[in-house]
C-alpha cells in the first residue's frame, strides 16, 4: 500500500451510483457548495460490480481514501446493496489485516439531493486523511 | 477558440488503437471563469491516444457540435471525450450528434468539469489540475470504449394491468386508446378499489360513483380490454416484451387458473388503510370511534334532506377528527405493526381529505360542533389550502397536539351531554389540558403498502424502506421500476390522492405504449457480456446473481459456460465481482475501464502514462 504523500493533498476516490450519489454530487455543485478539490468522482451504475481486490488495488496504486456513495437500501438494483455492504465489510477486515486504517474505506448513502450528507462524508474523509498524514510526518 | 490539431505534436498511436477527440467546453464562463480551459486542452493534447483537443464557448451549441461533426467527417477521431457539464444534461445531445454522423453513440465519454469541478471549487490552480485529471480519466476510459448496440427483444402487444382501482382503470383506458391490448386483473368482485368507499371528491365535488362509472364504463365497453375480476395474480415470470402471468380466478362459476402473456406490466395495486391497534384512540373498544372511510359511508347512507345526522339511533351533535393516525409515527411512542416497523412517513392525503369532509359536514349540518385534532396541517395540493381556510372560517375548532402526547379517548360519563370525552394537551392554548365532548371520533388513518409479496418476489422488485414500491428515480424515471417493462401507477408507489394516482397511471400508460407500439423493444446495452474464452464454468456468477433467469449455465465438462439473458439482466454487475477469470463484464462499464480511470487519477500531475 502507498504511504500517504506528505506534500500533496490526499487523493479521495468517490464511487458514486448513477441514481443517487453521482446526482447528489451534481446537486452539491449546482448549489455552489465548496468541498476539497482532491476528490475524484466516478459514475457507477452499481458499485457491486467491483471485486474485493479492486479496492486494495486502488489503495496500492495511490488512492488515499475511498468513499462508496450508494443509494443504500433503496438501491434500484434488487439485492445489490446487501451484497455490496457485505463485501465492503470483508474488505474492511482485509484492510485491518494489511495494517491499513479501516476508515480509509467508507460506505454511505447519499441521495440525489443530499448535499449536506455529501459534504459531510467528503470533509470527514479529507480530515481523517490529512490527520493521518500529519501523524505519519 | 483553440484548435490544437495542427499546432501541437501528435502522440504516436499504436495501430488500430482508437483516436480520441477531446472537446472542452467553456460553458460561457461557468467553467472557464474558474478552470484554465486552454491549459486543460493543451495538456489533453499530449495524452496518449488523443488525436485532437479543442475548446468551444458552448460545446452543446450548433457551432460546438459542428466542430465535432467536422472532425468526424474528416475522419480524425474514433472515440470522443466531451468535458463539460454533467452527463444527465447533454449526454443525449452528443450521443445523438454521433449517431447522426454515422458513429456508434456509445463511443462517448463525458468528463464532468462543471458540476463537479468549476462550481464547487474556487482556486484556479487546483480546479484546473482537477479538471485535467478528470479529462485524463475520461480519455483513459474512452480509449477502451467499443461500439455497443441496443439489445433487441420482440414484444407481445399486450399490457397486464394489476389492480382495478382508479389508477388501474385510468391506465387500462389510456393504453387501449393508444392501440395496446390490455388485460386487467382485479382481486375484488367489483372494479373501483378504495374509491368505491368515498362520497364527494375534492377538488370539484364530483361524486365518487360518477367518476367510477365513467372509468368503469370506458373499460367495460372497450373491446381492446379484457377484465378479470375476482382474480389474483399468483405468479409472474419473464422479462420485458415477454412476461407470463398465472392468474387464479376465484369466481365460483369460472374458478381456475389462466395464463396471460404480456409485454409490459403496470402495477396498480393501490394501498391498504392503516388499521389502528386495538384500543388506539379507543378504536374497536368504543363503537363511536370510526375511520374516515367509515364516516364517509355514514354520510352517504344518511344523504337526503335530513337536518340531523344519526348514528346508532341517536343524533350526532358533535364530531371530532384526529389527523396522523398511523402516519408520522415515532419510535418509542407508537407500537410497531405486524411487519415490525412503524410508519415514519406522512400519508399526505389525509389532511386535505379530513378538512374536505369537515367542510362538507359544516355545509350539511350548520349547527354541528366540529373539532379537529392535528399535529400539523399539510394541505399541499393545488386548492387544498382553501379547505383549511374554509374550515377555519366556519367554526371548526382546531386543537393542536404533540405526537408524543396524542389525544386520550374515553366513554363520557352517563350524565354528560356527549358520548365520548376527548382529553388533549392543546399547544394552541399553551399546552393546557382540554376536555372535549363528541358523539363520533373520526380517525384519519394513513396509507400503507398493499400486499405485493407475489409480485415483488417473482419479479425481484425493489421497495423503499417504508414498503412501497420503489421507482428507479423520483424525477428522471418516476413511474419505472428497475426491472425493465414494469411500471407503477397510483398509490402502490407512495401515498397519493386520486388526482396524483390518475396522473401517474397516464404516465405509466404512455411509457408502456412507447415500449410496445414498435413490436420490439430496444434495451440499453449496459448488460453483462461473457467472454467465452475466459469462462471456466464455475457457476459462481449464477449463484451471486440476484435475478432469476438472467444467467444460467449451459454445456458439460470443458464446454460448460454461462449464458446471459440480456432482457432480464439489469447490469448490476454482482456476477462480475465474483468471476475469478474476469470472463464477465458489464458492457460500457468494464473493470478494465474503471481501473484505467483510477490509474489516470493517481498518475503524477506531470506524468503521462500509457
Give the CATH number of the domain where residue B421 resides. 3.50.50.60
Instruction: Please tell me which of the candidates A40, A44, A54 has its beta carbon nearest to residue B133.
Output: A40
- Own/partner long-range contacts of B413-420 (Cβ < 8 Å, ≥24 apart): B417/B317, B418/B317, B418/B318, B419/B288, B419/B314, B420/B282, B420/B286, B420/B288, B420/B289, B420/B320
Residue B295 forms part of a structural domain: yes
ipTM confidence: 0.95
Distance CA B362, CA B346 (A): 26
Residues 6+ apart with CB under 8 A from B221: none
DSSP strand pairing (B551-554 vs B561-564): antiparallel
Tell me the average pLDDT across B160-184. Answer: 98
Name the closest residue on chain A to residue B582, using Cα atoms: A51
Percentage of chain B lying above the pLDDT 70 cut: 96
Q: Which three cell numbers stand for residue B203?
A: 377538488
Domain map (residue ranges) of chain A:
12-136
Q: Does some domain include residue B14?
A: no
For A84, the closest chain B residue by CA position comes to B574
For residue B48, the domain's CATH number is 3.40.50
Distance, in Å, from the CA atom of A73 to the CA atom of B572, rounded to the nearest integer, reads 14
Same domain, yes or no, for B279 and B376? yes
- The cell numbers describing B196, all together, are 368505491
In this complex, the residue of A32, A37, A50 whose CB is nearest that of residue B130 is A37
Residues B437 and B414 in one domain: yes
For residues B311 and B416, state if they share a domain.
Answer: yes
User: Per-residue pLDDT for A53 more than 60?
Assistant: yes
Q: In A, residues 101-120, which contact B (CB 8 Å cutoff)?
A: 112
State how far the Cα of A84 lies from the Cα of A107, in Å rounded to an integer.
9
CB contact under 8 A, B115 and A30: yes
B346 and B409 share a domain?
yes
Whether the link from the prior residue into B274 is cis, omega within 30° of 0, is no
Report residue B411 as a C-alpha cell.
366513554
Distance CA B592, CA B116 (A): 23
User: B499 with B429, same domain?
Assistant: no
Q: Return the percentage of chain B with pLDDT > 90, whole number.
A: 81
Find out whether B67 and B21 touch, Cβ atoms under 8 Å: no
All residues of chain B having their beta carbon less than 8 Å from the beta carbon of residue A63 are 598, 601-602
| One domain, residues B292 and B266 | no
Is residue B9 over pLDDT 60?
Answer: no
One domain for residues B67 and B100:
yes
DSSP secondary structure code for residue B21 in this structure: E
Residues of A in Cβ contact (< 8 Å) with B551:
none
Any domain includes B539: yes
Is B473 found in the same domain as B383? no
Q: Are A63 and A27 in contact (CB under 8 A)?
A: no
Residues A97-133 as b/e (b if ≥16 CB within 10 A, e otherwise) read: eeeeeeebbbbbbbbbbbbebbbebbeebbebbbebb
- Whether B433 and B473 map to the same domain: the answer is no
Query: Which residues, in sequence order, are bridge partners of residue B201?
Result: B206
Q: Which of B337-341, B349-353, B471-475 has the highest mean pLDDT?
A: B349-353
Q: Which cell numbers hold the place of B246?
A: 398465472
Residues B277 and B266 in one domain: no
User: Does the residue B13 lie in any domain?
Assistant: no
Residue A43 C-alpha, separation from nearest chain B C-alpha, in angstroms: 9
DSSP, collapsed to helix, strand or coil, labels residue B447 as strand
pLDDT score at B585? 96
Q: What pLDDT is recorded for position B264?
A: 97
Grid cell digits, residue B487: 411500471
CATH classification number, A12-136, choose in 3.30.43, 3.40.50, 1.25.40, 3.30.70:
3.40.50
| Domain contains B557 | yes
Q: Can you tell me the mean pLDDT for B571-598?
A: 96
Window from B129-138, B252-261, B556-565, B569-578 with minimum mean pLDDT: B252-261
CA distances from B507 to A50, B375, B452 (A): 35, 34, 21
| Most confident among A123-137, B28-42, B472-486 (mean pLDDT) | B28-42
DSSP A4: P
Cβ separation A77–B130 shorter than 8 A: no
What is the number of H-type helices and E-type strands within chain B?
A: 14, 32
How far, in Å, CA of B84 to CA of B26, rounded?
8
Q: Is A34 on the interface with B (CB under 8 A)?
A: yes
Q: What pLDDT was estimated at residue B610?
A: 35
pLDDT in tens, A42-52: 999 999 999 99
In the DSSP assignment, the letter for residue B43 is H
- Mean pLDDT (chain B) is 92
Residue B208 and residue B215 in contact, taking contact as beta carbons nearer than 8 Å: no
B246 part of a folded domain = yes
Residue B35 lies in a domain: yes
Q: What's the pLDDT score for residue B606?
A: 46
Among B27-36, B209-218, B291-300, B498-507, whose mean pLDDT is lowest?
A: B291-300
Cell reading at B217: 364504463
Strand (E) or helix (H) holding B245: strand B242-249
Instruction: Show the domain range for B296.
Output: 273-446
Bridge partners, residue B235, by sequence: B246
Provide the grid cell at B366: 350548520
> B72 CB contacts (<8 Å, ≥6 apart)?
B98, B101, B102, B103
CA distances to B192, B195, B222, B400 from B215, rounded to whole Å, are: 9, 12, 11, 39
| Average confidence (pLDDT) over B481-500 | 94
Q: How many domains does chain B have?
A: 4
B546 touches chain A (CB under 8 A): yes
Measured from the Cβ of residue B183, the count of other Cβ atoms closer than 10 Å reads: 21
In a domain, B10, yes or no: no
Burial B261-277 (b: 16+ CB within 10 A, else e): ebbbbbbbbbbebbebe
Question: Is residue B249 located within the same domain as residue B280?
Answer: no
Give dist(CA B132, CA B435) in Å, integer.
70
Residue in A19, A40, A61 closest to B134 by CB = A40
- The Cα-based distances of B143 to B50, B80, B597 in angstroms read 9, 9, 11
* Listed residue (A61, A25, A60) closest to A43, CA to CA: A25
**Is A42 within 8 Å of B120 when comparing Cβ atoms?**
no
CB contact under 8 A, B87 and A44: no
Q: Which residue has the higher pLDDT, B586 or B305?
A: B586
Amino acid at each position: 500500500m502507498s504511504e500517504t504523500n506528505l506534500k500533496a493533498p490526499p487523493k479521495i476516490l468517490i464511487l458514486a451510483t448513477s441514481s443517487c450519489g453521482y446526482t447528489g454530487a451534481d446537486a452539491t455543485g449546482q448549489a455552489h457548495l465548496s468541498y476539497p478539490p482532491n476528490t475524484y468522482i466516478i459514475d457507477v451504475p452499481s458499485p457491486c460490480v467491483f471485486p474485493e481486490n479492486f479496492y486494495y488495488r486502488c489503495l496500492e496504486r495511490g488512492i488515499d481514501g475511498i468513499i462508496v456513495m450508494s443509494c443504500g437500501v433503496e438501491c434500484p438494483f434488487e439485492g445489490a446493496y446487501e451484497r455490496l455492504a457485505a463485501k465492503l465489510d470483508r474488505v474492511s477486515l482485509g484492510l485491518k489485516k494489511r495494517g491499513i486504517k479501516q476508515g480509509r474505506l467508507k460506505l454511505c448513502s447519499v441521495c440525489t439531493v443530499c448535499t449536506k450528507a455529501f459534504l459531510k462524508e467528503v470533509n470527514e474523509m479529507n480530515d481523517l486523511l490529512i490527520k493521518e498524514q500529519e501523524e505519519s510526518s | 477558440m483553440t484548435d490544437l490539431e495542427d499546432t501541437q505534436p501528435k502522440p504516436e498511436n499504436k495501430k488500430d488503437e482508437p483516436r480520441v477527440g477531446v472537446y472542452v467546453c467553456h460553458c460561457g464562463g461557468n467553467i472557464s471563469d474558474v478552470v484554465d480551459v486552454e491549459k486543460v486542452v493543451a495538456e489533453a493534447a499530449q495524452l496518449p491516444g488523443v488525436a485532437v483537443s479543442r475548446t468551444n464557448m458552448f460545446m452543446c451549441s450548433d457551432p460546438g457540435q459542428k466542430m465535432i461533426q467536422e472532425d468526424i467527417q474528416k475522419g480524425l477521431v474514433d472515440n470522443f471525450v466531451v468535458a463539460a457539464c454533467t452527463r444527465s444534461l447533454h449526454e443525449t445531445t452528443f450521443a445523438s450528434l454521433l449517431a447522426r454522423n454515422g458513429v456508434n453513440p456509445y463511443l462517448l465519454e463525458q468528463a464532468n468539469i462543471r458540476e463537479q469541478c468549476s462550481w464547487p471549487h474556487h482556486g484556479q490552480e487546483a480546479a484546473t489540475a482537477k479538471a485535467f485529471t478528470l479529462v485524463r480519466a475520461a480519455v483513459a476510459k474512452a480509449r477502451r470504449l467499443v461500439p455497443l448496440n441496443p439489445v433487441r427483444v420482440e414484444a407481445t402487444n399486450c399490457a397486464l394491468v394489476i389492480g382495478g382501482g382508479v389508477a388501474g382503470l385510468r391506465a387500462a383506458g389510456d393504453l387501449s386508446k393508444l392501440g395496446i391490448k390490455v388485460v386487467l386483473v382485479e382481486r375484488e368482485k367489483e372494479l373501483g378499489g378504495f374509491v368505491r368507499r368515498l362520497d364527494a371528491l375534492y377538488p370539484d365535488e364530483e361524486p365518487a360513483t360518477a367518476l367510477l362509472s365513467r372509468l368503469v364504463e370506458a373499460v367495460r365497453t372497450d373491446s381492446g380490454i379484457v377484465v378479470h375480476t375476482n382474480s389474483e395474480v399468483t405468479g409472474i415470470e419473464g422479462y420485458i416484451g415477454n412476461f407470463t402471468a398465472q392468474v387464479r380466478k376465484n369466481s365460483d362459476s369460472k374458478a381456475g387458473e389462466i395464463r396471460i402473456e404480456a409485454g409490459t406490466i403496470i402495477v396498480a395495486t393501490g394501498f391498504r388503510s392503516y388499521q389502528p391497534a386495538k384500543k388506539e384512540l379507543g378504536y374497536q373498544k368504543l363503537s363511536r370511534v370510526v375511520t374516515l372511510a367509515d364516516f364517509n359511508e355514514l354520510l352517504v347512507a344518511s344523504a337526503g334532506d335530513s337536518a340531523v345526522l344519526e348514528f346508532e339511533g341517536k343524533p350526532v351533535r358533535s364530531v371530532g377528527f384526529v389527523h396522523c393516525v398511523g402516519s408520522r409515527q415515532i419510535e418509542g411512542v407508537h407500537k410497531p405493526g405486524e411487519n415490525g416497523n412503524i410508519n415514519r412517513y406522512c400519508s399526505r392525503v389525509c389532511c386535505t381529505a379530513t378538512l374536505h369532509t369537515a367542510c362538507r359536514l359544516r355545509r350539511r349540518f350548520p349547527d354541528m360542533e366540529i373539532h379537529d385534532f392535528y399535529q400539523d396541517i399539510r394541505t399541499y395540493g393545488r386548492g387544498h389550502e382553501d379547505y383549511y381556510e374554509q374550515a377555519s372560517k366556519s367554526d371548526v375548532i382546531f386543537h393542536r397536539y404533540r405526537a408524543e402526547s396524542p389525544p386520550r379517548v374515553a366513554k363520557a360519563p352517563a350524565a354528560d351531554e356527549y358520548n365520548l370525552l376527548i382529553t388533549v394537551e392543546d399547544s394552541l392554548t399553551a399546552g393546557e389540558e382540554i376536555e372535549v365532548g363528541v358523539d363520533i371520533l373520526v380517525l384519519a388513518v394513513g396509507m400503507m403498502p398493499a400486499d405485493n409479496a407475489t409480485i415483488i418476489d417473482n419479479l425481484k422488485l425493489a421497495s423503499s424502506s417504508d414498503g412501497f414500491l420503489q421507482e428507479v428515480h423520483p424525477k428522471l424515471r418516476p413511474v419505472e421500476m428497475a426491472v425493465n417493462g414494469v411500471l407503477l401507477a397510483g398509490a402502490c408507489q407512495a401515498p397519493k390522492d386520486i388526482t396524483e394516482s390518475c396522473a401517474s397511471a397516464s404516465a405509466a400508460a404512455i411509457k408502456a405504449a412507447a415500449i410496445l407500439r414498435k413490436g420490439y423493444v430496444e434495451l440499453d446495452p449496459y448488460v453483462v457480456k461473457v467472454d467465452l474464452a475466459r469462462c471456466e464454468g464455475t457457476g459462481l456468477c449464477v449463484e451471486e446473481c440476484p435475478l432469476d433467469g438472467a444467467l444460467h449455465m449451459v454445456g458439460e465438462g470443458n464446454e460448460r459456460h454461462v449464458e446471459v439473458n440480456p432482457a432480464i439482466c439489469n447490469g448490476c454487475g454482482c456476477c462480475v465481482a465474483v468471476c475469478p477469470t474476469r470472463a464477465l463484464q458489464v458492457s460500457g462499464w468494464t473493470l478494465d475501464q474503471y481501473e484505467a480511470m483510477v490509474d489516470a487519477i493517481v498518475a503524477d500531475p506531470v506524468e503521462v502514462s500509457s
